[in-house]
Structure 1
């Protein structure tokens, strides 16, 4: 890592709208990568049930397990991507290599067989593991460590993520339904091809824009050999069949043990590095790990959006709009990013207004609020399934929409703040590994989300009764965790030693 960054400084960049100009280049690079990712996310489980189970709801459990494993491994491989960037070839080269591998996987998904489905997902997972943690780390490196614009910069970057997430289901959902004038279930492969094109855009955007970054993200002198890039590329190719076997043979339960072990390894590495510094750094890493544990619970239920929420929307929600038009299932997943784009600016202003009055909630309190808002979303679904279920076996349209909005409020309380928190609390030499640890907590939550969704669907598919039971469990666990975190937040704040 560049010595000036370790010292807490940052290059003197030209400014655009009050932030370093390279932020906006990273914004658009992430926009197209998220467009690709969320195109796959909304379609994956629906494609599996339609393509390999001919629409039979019995396929929901396997589809949910695959989605959970895919989501988990997307984030779990981030720890390796962070290590590659920190120790081997630098951030910029790691991002470029990841983009190439991910694009190849997205195009492979369009080939209609289970083998190619899992092989394509394995390529996407390995590529995104190289890409995702490192572009987030680079946002933090654009600012000096004590720059109070850092949190706002991450929030703006997060809006780029969600602009891509908003466009993906709307555009690819429409294309799947209408582009070739055949039924949607025959055109999910078009979604994957479009996602591949989006990833190529991301690659090109970063390739041509990376000069703006100056020395940030470039390999250190001892990392400059291009032979290192070749070895990393070969390592990525070896990793693809390993990831394939994890999804195809190990299964979600076995994967959970592996992810748990990796999480422990990350924690030990961060604590060992912190102990080389002083007691304050050790305390900060402990605070970060506590937050990571609660983060697992948030994403365990948030990622129902790709599984149980999809099946709820398809089978138990009245989607008939004015004039008999049917609201597409995939479009529900544009509700959250739209809400983020709408709510992120006023929420950022609210935090700033409270901060000037020394009333802004601390990082752990924001995480506690995030868990509570997520719980409220499930409470709305529980109310709808217990009180609003019609004679046709459907609930109204609005409860699922409101659930997404409440989850979005929760996400805004913790996710952009979490990215910034890692860059503040991590040992300076292991920022990439710590960012990988953040995504590892998402990985554990993502895999657990697939297990929960599989349990809700059971062997015959989701019913109103199974959804009610599963969502009630989700509410109580989230609400309880949120209350606990709010109660222990003074302790966590003391461990952070003044980091805001």
Structure 2
């Protein structure tokens, strides 16, 4: 008899709650809209009036990288207020519904061929993703009881949905743009998001038990964010740290040169408040176990920033490199640039089960397979993918163009690294986050992802002065070194988790044999 723990009154399909597949398809269409638009964003901004796909904005590469960095960061940083809105007011389920509706409006607005529509559309997408992204992931975790070994598998299935949406978008949207222009591509993203909203609406009965509005009792037990901040004056040390950070942020942000100095000022002030919030949450935790786990969770967010700072080059520097310096002719057909971003999603669908099985078999053999080890290993593998971009740059410098094979190999390594790291990090947050702040901590996870996106934009800007070769080499060195550092510190870090991952129900013989059959 299987030892998997089931939530009461849940219908199941293929060994998982039906609600997982509702969230799967909702997220699939949301990611179709997001990655479809992301694949177009930078090349649309730098496209000139005589571009083959129609007139673009005609910006410089530096301006495009700047906006790309801010956009990717804000898309995820707004997950923090999105998580608070869910935790304190609406619940995750209604906040996801609100986010999906705003996203339909945002992508629809981008389809309008007008300067104001471009910025309004991006703003709405930022708000919509902030409401939807952290809360739908938290709901996936809520489908499973604590200790249910199916949780990681459920997140892996959910992650396949994310990448199926990305693959469909990047495969189709480049063709649509080539035939009907940029705004037809943006409009297609809006239609996809509408499909996602409809799936979510009609699947409500299967997720009725998760993500509901906080009850009166839960609100009484919970500690509000404002109350946490009000306690800052009671700790002179924490008040001093916060004051110094805030003063430094104001000085550095508003004395920085550049047209976006105001953005850096706001960012640094925001980060000061985040640090203050983290100090207060740490102080409010009742036990040392919760505090230790909270510290490990914050360290994992540093891994997230490093990982996505490198990985998000796909939508920025690598996208421009593909458009301008790669020989994209295949059997007489010019492969659209967005299709190369689809390699990542395609490899994920092909390799997700294989990578998951490798880790599952390691765990069965009592080998190291903790979440932190997977995340560090994934960061190293992903970073090594940029070795192939170094080869591409050298070939371009020698011949005036580089072959597509370097991009294929780079995306392959990026994908394997992502499969080791990203689905696991989502699950890791749900295991270690204090229950009171579940959505907020998921919001902070996505905010860390967004900060990684900003780092990616900054690296793209620096390529203007340092060159692609230096940037790609630097990414390889830093990601590998940082990943190895985390692995070196693994034992003390695992002790601080106090067995958060040790209580998962072990697979029985039938399930272990299932892994063998899946691999064969």
Q: TM-score range by the shorter chain?
A: 0.7 to 0.9
Aligned-pair distance for 1:288?
A: 0.5
Q: Contact 2:45–2:57 at 8 Å: present in 1 too?
A: no
What residue number does 1:127 align with? Answer: 128
Aligned partner of 1:30 in structure 2 is 27
CA contact (8 A) 1:103 1:200 kept: yes
Change in CA separation of 1:254 and 1:403 when aligned onto 2, cut-off 3 Å: farther
Query: Where do 5+ consecutive residues of structure 2 fail to align?
Result: 219-258, 502-520
Cα distance change of structure 1 residues 415 and 21 upon mapping to structure 2, 3 Å threshold: same
Matched, 1:498 2:507: no
Q: Displacement, 1:156?
A: 0.5
Query: Do 2:343 and 2:411's aligned partners in 1 also have CA atoms closer than 8 Å?
Result: yes
CA deviation vs aligned residue, 1:271-290 (integer Å, no higher than 9, x gap)? 234x22x1111100100101
In structure 2, C-alpha distance between the alignment counterparts of 1:109 and 1:175, rounded to whole Å: 15
The question of 1:261 aligning with 2:272 is answered yes
Q: In the alignment, is the contact (CA less than 8 A) between 1:256 and 1:448 conserved in 2? A: no
Structure 1 counterpart of 2:315: 306
Indicate the residue corresponding to 1:410 in structure 2: 417
Q: Would the alpha carbon gap of residues 400 and 269 (structure 1) be closer, same or farther in structure 2, given more than 3 Å must change?
A: farther
Matches within 5 A, 1:274-285: 275-276=285-286, 278-285=287-294
Higher mean alpha-carbon deviation, 253-262 vs 147-156, is at 253-262
d(CA) in 1 for partners of 2:173, 2:273: 35
Matches within 5 A, 1:58-207: 59-178=60-179, 180=180, 187-207=181-201
Matches within 5 A, 1:51-62: 59-62=60-63
The Cα shift of 1:268 comes to 2.8
Task: Please tell me whether residue 356 in structure 1 is matched to residue 364 in structure 2.
Answer: yes
User: Are the aligned partners of 2:396 and 2:402 in contact in 1 as well (CA < 8 Å)?
Assistant: yes
Which TM-score applies when normalising by structure 2? 0.83
Find the partner of 2:302 among 288, 293, 309. Answer: 293
**Structure 1, gaps ≥5 residues long:** 1-7, 181-186, 225-247, 459-464
Q: 2:212 aligns with which of 194, 199, 218?
A: 218
Cross-structure match for 2:474: 473
Matched residue SS, 1:389: helix
For residues 33-82 of structure 1, the C-alpha deviation after alignment (integer angstroms, 9 at most, x for no partner) is 00000011100011111167967986111111111111111110001111
Give the Cα–Cα distance (whole angstroms) in 1 for the partners of residues 303 and 123 of structure 2. 28
Give SS of 2:396's match: coil
- Residues 243-265 of structure 1, C-alpha deviations (whole Å, 9 max, x = no match): xxxxx965653454245335424
Q: Does 2:467 match 1:440?
A: no
Q: 2:173 touches 2:338 (CA, 8 Å); kept in 1?
A: no
CA contact (8 A) 1:456 1:466 kept: yes
Gap change, CA 1:436 and 1:191, over 3 Å in 2 = same
Count the aligned residue pairs: 454
Give the greater-gyration-radius structure (CA): 2
Matches of 2:49 and 2:66, distance apart in 1: 14
- Go from structure 1 to structure 2 and tell me whether the alpha carbon gap of 1:84 and 1:10 turns closer, same or farther (over 3 Å shift): farther
Structure 1 Cα separation of the partners of residues 262 and 401 of structure 2: 33
* TM-score relative to the length of structure 1: 0.86
**Alignment match, 2:508:** none
Q: CA RMSD in A?
A: 2.3
C-alpha separation in 1, matches of 2:492 and 2:156? 26
Go from structure 1 to structure 2 and tell me whether the alpha carbon gap of 1:43 and 1:56 turns closer, same or farther (over 3 Å shift): closer
